[in-house]
Amino acid sequence: MKNWHHCVWFLGGVLFGTAGIKVLSSKDAKKCYTHTTAAVLRAKECVMDTANKIQVNCDDVVAEAKEINAERKAKEDVEVGE
């Protein structure tokens, strides 16, 4: 009886697997995969745009900080020279 039970489970798994492959390779499933992939690509583009904006802002901050430090150093040099 145990062997028969295992055989039924095995055959059920094979049948379920075969049906699953048919469902996953259907036109509707492929259409779903295509739309999902397109959404992921749009999200990636949005994230990359945001990252680029952040990088530009950081570059501006660093440039302004360098200017501030240069001005402070010039002031200190003038004060030391007097």
pLDDT tens digits, 56-75: 999 999 999 999 999 999 99
pTM summary value = 0.53
Instruction: Convert 1-13 to b/e letters by CB count within 10 Å (16 or more is b).
Output: eeeeeeeeeeeee
d(CA 20, CA 46): 34
Q: Is there a contact between 9 and 1 (Cβ–Cβ < 8 Å)?
A: no
Residue 81 has pLDDT above 80, yes or no: no
> CA-CA distance, 25 to 82, in Å (whole number)?
83
Q: Domain extents for the chain?
A: 2-81
Q: Please tell me the predicted confidence (pLDDT) of residue 45.
A: 95
**Tell me, what's the pLDDT at 2?**
62
Helix, strand or coil, per DSSP, at residue 51: helix
pLDDT tens-place string over residues 34-61: 999 999 999 999 999 999 999 999 999 9
